[in-house]
Chains A and B, each alone.
Chain A
Amino acid sequence: MNWLRSLMMPAPGSSYASEVDDLYMLIFWISAFFFLLIAGLLSYFVWRYRRRSADEVTPHISHNFKLEVVWSVIPLIIVVVLFFLGFNSYMNARVGPGEALEIQVRGKRWVWEFEYPDGMRTLNEIYIPVNRPVRFVMSSEDVIHSFYVPSFRVKMDVLPNRYTDLWFHPIEEGVHTMLCAEYCGRGHSDMLAQIHVVSEAKFREWQEQGDERMRTMPLAELGKMLYESRGCATCHSIDGTRREGPTFKGIYGESHAMRDGSTVLVDENYLRESILEPQAKIRSGYEAIMPTFQGLLREREIAALIEFIKAQK
């Protein structure tokens, strides 16, 4: 019945995931049993006792105490057992190991920001070493979000007024998608992040020099990738439509009116400033809601984004 399991659930990415799957499948089979029992009896009764003539007489069977007890107590026992199993594995997931890599998470509309113990920060993307527990300490800057990685079977809400936490233990190298599972507005379904589970050596290399792909990719291509993965796309279109922020289409070389009445020519310097210090100049007609990307992008990445924006004619 492994096919059923892999049809229903994504491949497990943590040791804990199979624990949840076992329980899921147990409930599945219990449910299947009761459903088939009900459906079977129903079909049999409908066929066997179908009305044959208008004046049929039926026996007077009003109740049966023993039966009532049987069909109350059996489900009761089943659910009490399920309660303990569910509670047990939940507590396994809650109580983390002492030694864990600790990563701070900040959710904001509609990006995920991660901060490593050494101060390194990334957006919508993290690297973690395989076979080492990771603990996330999370909070939100605006509304409620929720940190959800289906392949690890973990989820925890990210709240604006306090810290919540969650941990898991990745068992295999690979890339996993992390999603926002609490409705948070227009960009809710774009609030995704990539979790790269890599070997210890790769992890160290990445911490020092960043992603290999990022170092070698052509600037324009890198820019497009960052535009999609770093959250720019949620607020800026490239086809001319207006979203929370202005479109990138054709802005390079234009002159834009600012809220304070001045006009600014959109050149490389202005683009750079807009990304690193968005509040410095607010374009008129827009809200000052763009988050700063200071410290979140490497030099080459900023250059790539500027290159990308320039290319949107």
Chain B
Amino acid sequence: MADVLTAPPEVGRRHFEPNYLNERRGILSWLTTLDHKRIGVMYLWSVLVAFLLGGIFAMVVRMELLTPKETIISADAYNKAFTLHGAIMIFLFIIPGIPAALGNFVLPLLIGAKDVAFPRLNLASYYLYVAGALFALASMIFGGVDTGWTFYTPYSTTTTTKVSLLTLGAFILGFSSIFTGVNFIATVHKLRVPGMTWFNMPLFIWGLYATAIIQVLATPVLGITLLLIVMERVWKVGIFDPALGGDPVLFQHFFWFYSHPAVYIMILPGMAIISEVIPTFSKKTIFGYKAIAYSSVAIAFISFLVWGHHMFTSGQSDLATAVFSFLTFLVAIPSAIKVFNWLATMYRGSIDLKAPMIYAIMFLLLFAIGGLTGIFLGTISVDVHLHDTYFVVAHFHYVMMGGTVIAFIAGLHYWWPKMFGRMYSEKWARPAALLIFLGFNMTFLAQFILGSRGMPRRYYNYLEQFQPLHVFSTIGSWVLALGLFMVGGYLLASLRKPYDAPDNPWGGKTLEWTTSSPPITHNFETTPVLTHGPYDYSPQEATR
């Protein structure tokens, strides 16, 4: 078995057999499919469209901030722009992004299954996603929303913009996310190929499993919270309205009880991709398999206990503030463990700087900055100064864009040949990655300084002294966008070629590389047989 896998990459054996892409044709065969691969692909296109849309709003935001007063749009339009930018990026792009698009496609392949446990639920979750997206779209068409993605009360319950439509959309998207989580948990428990023990699973599975736990435990609370906002707007039930005896800060507790764990819904799948890419391109066993696996689960659980760190200045009690700060620091440790284990994996490896690896390295650098700046924010007295400034904006873009999105792009390149049977252009990938790296740092490093100097976020007009840094940041965003469009361009261009990807272009050891590129409809010709662990690259493995 091992010799099949380590043989030099040949052009795939099964190119001319029907695969999941061409076995059935026609739009209807896609819309009614129960195949996890097709659902994954539909998700992929959908989240990429959402990313593009969110990115356009981001460019508008950056453009407006070029000058201290009005540049291109009014204050109202600006407030809607950053709200929709944040809401689209979070609810429509980054949360479903890796699990529902890439995860759906490769999770069953990685554990040697024919599909996820509940294919119909999977399709339902996709349609819920579409329905939620339509609601979000409707809120835009009928006038937009201006609350910020956090929907803080009582502003959100009194503003005249289309808050109910957007929150209903997010509510529906929440259920889509819950269904994906339920599906993955059952799949991982029950559909692993015979012989694959928990500690024999690829780490990507561990990451998605931990993510699914958070999705299932946190999202319902968001659901009910968003419903309460709608109730408050429609019937004035009073729970968040101080004038009626309610408590607006209660909303913040509810919201962050979901949204803090949600940031780990965003990062864990990204980390999971990195745990696959680094061993493959270092051609070396992952270092500290159990440490990485357990730390994912540790993050999942501790993440439920730290939500109050978004509320250090909200008037919550000093005791609560202290406890939340302490727990925030604890949740940083598992991330640190992962970073060091990835580094150790590269030690004495055979490192091949193909595009996925370039992005994995970029992830390590940017996530380190994002995570370390999280430490500033966890420190209470420093956070009091930095809260709701551009420092926070920069922090979360480093972890979300620099962390998750970069990991997503790494995973996209890594599995692209498997998904579509074509190789992308390595020649174009490098300059694009360089532009993304430069542009990203230009855009957001400047924002750390802005924030530390006291530039609040969600500001349409700002003090003149901040202009040079804002100009720098805006120019950076153009470089970043150029890089991203290049990536989109060469990936799409590769689809016009005939199939040219080998079954195992990177010499990977996990099960997805044992089937054809693109995979056949039922994934594997026969139930795969495990002969080695997911990261057994070294000859010593035999003697272990």
Contacts and interface: CB of A to CB of B under 8 A. Distances in A.
So, do A and B actually touch in the complex, CB under 8 Å? yes
Interface of A: 7-10, 19-20, 23-24, 27-28, 30-31, 34-35, 38-39, 41-42, 45-46, 49-52, 54, 56-64, 67-68, 71-72, 75-76, 79-80, 82-83, 85-87, 89-94, 142-144, 146, 148, 150-151, 153-157, 159-162, 164, 177, 179-190
Given A45-B343, A86-B382, A183 B458 contact: yes
Given A24-B385, A42-B364, A75-B336, 9 more contacts: A23-B381, A45-B351, A59-B348, A61-B347, A90-B322, A91-B318, A157-B315, A160-B154, A181-B389
Nearest to A176: B454
B376 interface: yes
14 contacts: A24-B385, A35-B365, A38-B339, A38-B368, A45-B349, A59-B540, A61-B287, A62-B286, A63-B288, A79-B332, A82-B379, A90-B381, A155-B387, A161-B246
Interface in B432-476: 449, 452-454, 456-463
A61 B540 CA distance: 9
B161 to A, nearest CB: 10
A20 B348 contact: no
Contact of A68 (B288, B381, B537): B288
Contact of A49 (B322, B346, B372): B346
A135 to B, nearest CB: 15
Contacts of A183: 79, 147-148, 152, 155, 388, 457-458
Given A27-B375, A35-B372, A75-B336, A58 B348 contact: yes
A189 B460 contact: yes
Contacts of B321: 90
B418 interface: no
B259 to A, nearest CB: 15
Interface string B303-339: 0000000000111001001100110011011001101
A28 B379 CA distance: 12
Contacts of A7: 449
B116 to A, nearest CB: 30
Interface in B382-418: 382-385, 387-389
A73 B282 CA distance: 27
Query: Which secondary structure dominates where chain B touches chain A?
Result: helix
B372 to A, nearest CB: 4
A181 B388 contact: yes
B529 interface: no
B340 interface: yes
A189 B227 CA distance: 30
A189 B461 contact: yes
B525 interface: no
Given A42-B346, A45-B347, A87-B325, A153 B384 contact: yes
Contacts of B329: 79-80, 82-83
Interface in B63-101: 75-76, 79
Contacts of B376: 24, 27-28, 31
A161 B247 contact: yes
Candidate in A20, A23, A51 with the most chain B CB atoms within 10 angstroms: A51
B337 A72 contact: yes
Given A146-B313, A161-B248, A49 B351 contact: yes
A59 to B, nearest CB: 6
B492 interface: no
A152 to B, nearest CB: 9
Contacts of A64: 287-288, 344
Given A23-B382, A91-B318, A94-B318, A61 B348 contact: yes
A179 B454 contact: yes
A290 to B, nearest CB: 17
A7 to B, nearest CB: 7
Interface string B13-24: 000000000000
A80 B332 CA distance: 11
Contacts of B457: 183
A155 B336 contact: no
Given A58-B537, A91-B318, A159 B333 contact: no
Nearest to B358: A46
Contact of B539 (A46, A54, A57): A57
Contact of B332 (A75, A148, A153): A75
A156 B315 contact: yes
Given A27-B375, A56-B283, A183-B152, A155 B333 contact: no
A71 B452 contact: no
B364 A38 contact: yes
A233 to B, nearest CB: 11
B456 A180 contact: yes
Nearest to B148: A183
Contacts of B246: 161
A262 to B, nearest CB: 28
Candidate in B369, B375, B381 with the most chain A CB atoms within 10 angstroms: B381
A86 B380 contact: yes
A242 to B, nearest CB: 11
A85 B76 CA distance: 41
Given A45-B351, A59-B540, A82-B329, A144 B379 contact: no
B347 A49 contact: yes
B333 A75 contact: yes
Nearest to B460: A189
A76 B333 contact: yes
Contact of B453 (A9, A62, A189): A9
Interface string B179-207: 00000000000000000000000000000
Interface in B48-75: 75
A89 B341 CA distance: 34
Contacts of B159: 185
Contacts of B286: 62
B448 to A, nearest CB: 8
B15 to A, nearest CB: 23
A155 B389 CA distance: 11
